[in-house]
């Protein structure tokens, strides 16, 4: 395998898509595999699946928790200052006691500071965990949110901060689909954003949302057109051309590529044809950054 050596540089490339199923993880995994050394970070904490391709070894787990408040009923006088303060409506005072809705709490810590009776303390609540391992030259980091949790941003934040990777090299950030606050957390330190889309009107609609997001964050970006079919109209391509958005690469609809992905195989490892395809995408990115 040729690959590219990135020992002299450090860069974060975020891979996004407006919806699931566009091939975002397939692109992230293949780019990480042909780059040496590299870091693959799976921020799709609700449904991470990049590790299925890499099958990392020597995996270390780390719990992720957030601080949530609890009130001491012996100290609380029912003044409701905390309820009025919480802009997330996570606190309710009724039946002579304070109730905390943990799912709505953003762990800002304000209620414990504002309580005049010093009745509120904070305790850690586990919301998920990280799995940190290695697959050859790729450092693989996966964030996994516990079932029933709704806010994955603290897991993503920890996932991007954790220090188990080489000082130099390219980090590929496999973002959650869509344009939610979890995506914003995932791209905040990205040097370049790669937007993966498909040739459907729905795909184009979602691409536009992600373009708006990365533009708002003032990130340089380009688009990968996935599942293209020669001779057929591609509304995503038309949108890019009309709006002067750089097209970084085209990945044709290819049954072999689909089969390899469905078997959780990394196409660039299995075939020189696919290795060259992803190599050309990397070359185009390096020309832009």
Write down the least CB distance from residue 118 to ligand SF4, Å: 8
Give the residue with the Cβ less far from ligand SF4, 90 or 183: 90
Pick from 53, 41, 56: nearest CA to 270? 53
Pick from 211, 217, 287: nearest CA to 249? 287
Q: Categorise residue 142: left if φ over 0, alpha if ψ from -120 to 50, beta otherwise.
A: beta
> Long-range contacts: 285-288, Cβ < 8 Å, 24+?
285/13, 285/192, 285/194, 285/222, 285/248, 288/192, 288/220, 288/222, 288/246, 288/248
Write down the least CB distance from residue 75 to ligand SF4, Å: 7
3-state secondary structure (DSSP) of residue 259:
helix
Write down the least CB distance from residue 124 to ligand SF4, Å: 13
242: exposed, middle or buried (Cβ count in 10 Å: 0-12, 13-18, 19+): exposed
Distance from C-alpha of 53 to C-alpha of 264, rounded to nearest angstrom: 5
Pick from 172, 211, 214, 176: nearest CA to 29? 172
Give the residue with the Cβ less far from ligand SF4, 114 or 289: 114
Question: Which residues make up the interface to ligand SF4 (CB under 6 A)?
Answer: 69, 71, 76-82, 85-86, 88, 90-91, 93, 98, 100, 105-111, 115, 117, 119-120
| Alpha carbon of residue 260 to chain centroid | 23
Give the residue with the Cβ less far from ligand SF4, 92 or 162: 92
Give the residue with the Cβ less far from ligand SF4, 104 or 229: 104
Half-sphere exposure of 118 (CA within 13 A, CB side): 0
Contact 131, 61 (CB under 8 A): yes
Write down the least CB distance from residue 11 to ligand SF4, Å: 35
Beta bridge partners of 122: 69
Write down the least CB distance from residue 70 to ligand SF4, Å: 9
Write down the least CB distance from residue 64 to ligand SF4, Å: 17
Place of tokens 């340089």: 220
Give the residue with the Cβ less far from ligand SF4, 58 or 123: 123
Give the residue with the Cβ less far from ligand SF4, 88 or 202: 88
Write down the least CB distance from residue 146 to ligand SF4, Å: 18
Give the residue with the Cβ less far from ligand SF4, 105 or 193: 105
């Amino acid at each position: 395998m040729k690959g590219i050596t990135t020992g002299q540089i450090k860069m974060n490339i975020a891979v996004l898509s407006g919806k699931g199923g566009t091939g975002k993880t397939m692109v992230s995994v293949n780019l990480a595999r042909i780059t040496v050394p590299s870091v693959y970070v799976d921020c799709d904490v609700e449904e991470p699946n990049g590790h299925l391709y890499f099958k990392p070894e020597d995996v270390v787990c780390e719990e992720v928790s957030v601080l949530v408040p609890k009130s001491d009923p012996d100290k609380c006088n029912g003044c409701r200052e905390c309820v009025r303060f919480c802009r997330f409506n996570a606190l309710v005072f009724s039946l002579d006691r304070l109730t905390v809705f943990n799912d709505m709490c953003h762990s800002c810590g304000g209620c414990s500071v504002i309580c005049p009776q010093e009745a509120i303390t904070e305790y850690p609540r586990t919301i998920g965990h990280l799995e940190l391992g290695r697959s050859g030259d790729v450092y693989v980091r996966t964030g996994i949110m516990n079932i029933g949790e709704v806010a994955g941003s603290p897991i993503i934040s920890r996932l991007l901060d954790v220090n188990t990777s080489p000082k130099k090299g390219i980090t590929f950030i496999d973002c959650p689909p869509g344009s939610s606050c979890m995506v914003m957390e995932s791209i905040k330190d990205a040097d370049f954003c790669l937007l993966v889309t498909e040739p459907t009107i729905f795909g184009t609609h979602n691409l536009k949302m992600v373009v708006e997001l990365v533009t708002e964050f003032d990130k340089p970006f380009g688009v990968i057109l996935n599942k293209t079919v020669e001779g057929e109209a591609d509304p995503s391509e038309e949108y890019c051309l009309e709006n002067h958005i750089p097209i970084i690469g085209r990945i044709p609809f290819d049954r072999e590529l689909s089969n390899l992905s469905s078997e959780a195989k990394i196409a660039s490892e299995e075939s020189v044809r696919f290795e060259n395809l992803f190599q050309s995408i990397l070359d185009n990115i390096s020309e832009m950054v």
